[in-house]
Chain A
């Protein structure tokens, strides 16, 4: 098995705040890997650092065997795409879906845009009827589908998912998670997915890493988590919390 993403001793510092304190991680090609933790644990920062959206102070990131520098080139973004948490904030409010999907194609100089846009929309289950709508005319779930279509249109091999369903209803969440699993299977994608919900991570990922205040607490497989075979108290707490409210006394 080859590594799709290797992160080694990564430090991210915002002004004087150390958001990531030496985190290492290896995601195999074709694998789905989860990052869990509370707000402020650095899980999103790690994802953003890989995408080139956070100031890396030290450490290294390697994607598909290529070590990344301070700037990401175009070839990187053909390989790695990201889906953000808030579908209300991540689509341009004054562009139609068609225009939104043309943007990455224009940047990367694809000629067969027409065909690709149609295929991308079909793939995420939206169809042609949504092509000339604005994002405010779509529901949250539909917007997230557009964001996924935009990520897939360049045919990347790695998808970075930052809480892709936390802004959605439980019922719409199921649809989007199913869609993500389906495209992953069909295109043999590598997923690196961030969520605060252990149930979602165990559903979607084979392995996961638990993070707390900028550090890795524990790495384990989904099966270990399901079997409650965890070693750290922090993970145990998260696990208990995800089982829902229990009245005491």
Chain B
């Protein structure tokens, strides 16, 4: 997890007129040749700004995403699940660490990014504004939200910014284990008691609409992002990623005997594309702008954690505090 669903708002390309045209065309030629851009290389301001925004959103999604699943660590049923879920959520926090470092190479500090998260200035994946009511919700997240994130991250790993791509390569390797873990949990619910099956079906019913929102608004209503596509910042259209996810996972969900709460969901064999009821984009906008079931709680938890940890960070910055060789 938990990247994906990056919200690309309409971008202004005016600043490009102020860029050195020769450097800009060399930069674009490098990207077209498939070269990676590294931190010290020349890059247009707009590229830097959009990348910081995207990587930062991804990092925030990892730490905020750790919250709904994290609450199930202390309740996971049995040693096997308890140990696996601890390791899984720890990976996600580790991903945040990697991603904040990748974003820092572009000139914004981790502290500033976390400040912008808490103030609401920068976003995170909208799906984490929904609650995980039961163990089955946590299983849905581990399997299908992670699956969605992998679709997004595999695409982004082919992008143009070197540090982000390298972080994503590592992240995707770990995610593939999360996916196996999540799938395994769901198989046990599917083949378990009636109670277990209905727990997952109910979770699926709850999470399907936010899952359809996960890849962002439909292409026909999305902001134009051609320049970001050319620069290999945005690697795939929202609808294409959504379609790829449906293609890979709807059959697996059906195979386990669950139903998906959308009577119009079917694959059009002529086009090879999935058809579905239009997701409620008004709800998506409302939630992403702060009015979802858990937005306030998520940010409040993050804010409190930051405040409670402030004295530790201050102490680490203390000038008296020299490195001490560990005893053991």
A, B co-complexed:
no
